[in-house]
Amino acid sequence: MDNLPFSQACENNKAAILEAIAPRLLAVDEVLEIGSGTGQHACYFAENLPGLLWQPTELDENRNVLQPRLQEYGGNNLRSAISLDVCQHPWPLAIPQAVFTANTLHIMPFEAVQSLFTYLGEASEVGTLLLVYGPFNYEGRYTSESNASFDDWLRARDARSAIRDFEQVDALARSAGYALVEDRAMPANNRLLLWQRLV
Ligand SMILES: C[S@@+](CC[C@H](N)C(=O)[O-])C[C@H]1O[C@@H](n2cnc3c(N)ncnc32)[C@H](O)[C@@H]1O
């Protein structure tokens, strides 16, 4: 065992996410990841997508969770972690051609979700891809019993966390100039949402 911070969920979902995002990133040189957590996704995607540069980021207070695994990575297409809180504008780096985030929108307060899209609207270029993985509700309904239980657990842990409504997030994306390209069902009642900035 390597004793690095570990998420079983990441191990379970990383192959399916890679399969979904790889074809979308063929023309992309660099990906900015928001809320990289343990770094398992960053390392796995960098290893399996050697043609692109992966930039992991985290809240400053959680960077110590992320950095150790990144340091173990053997390749040269994974950058060191940068501190990034989506609410603090401007972000400390330019937004590249693609932004990826997994399991973050239901953790951060809704104001932070709004702040993320506001900044994308201000600072990203036309053509930028936004790939978001996680659970979503549709028309105010859970997509499964397990997501309903998960939402109860999230809200009990932090009243500002909650599974977001797809329609509400899509409206934020549209306000930022992004159009939905794909809403893909993923294992364990998750979704992979892909938007692209068109205006
Ligand atoms: C459940 S973890 C997901 C981590 C990883 N992406 C994964 O799939 O395992 C949620 C992450 O969102 C990050 N986060 C919460 N609020 C944030 C904010 N305002 N800006 C950036 N990241 C934030 C947390 O630090 C945490 O690492």
For the domain that residue 174 is a member of, what is the CATH number?
3.40.50.150
Residue 24, in any domain of the structure: yes
Ligand 1 centre to CA of 107 (Å) is 7
Number of domains in the chain: 1
Residue 3, in any domain of the structure: no
Residue 2, in any domain of the structure: no
pLDDT for 1: 57
pLDDT tens readout for residues 34-88: 999 999 999 999 999 999 999 999 999 999 999 999 999 999 999 999 999 999 9
Residue 1, in any domain of the structure: no
Is the pTM for the entire model greater than 0.85?
A: yes
Exposure pattern of 102-123 as b/e (b: 16+ CB <10 Å)? Answer: bbbbbbbebebbbbbbbbbbee
Give, using CA atoms, the residue closest to atom 22 of ligand 1.
Answer: 35
Residue 142, in any domain of the structure: yes
108 Cβ below 6 A of ligand 1? yes
Give, using CA atoms, the residue closest to atom 5 of ligand 1.
Answer: 37
Ligand 1 centre to CA of 199 (Å) is 28
CA dist., res. 145 & res. 154, Å (int):
14
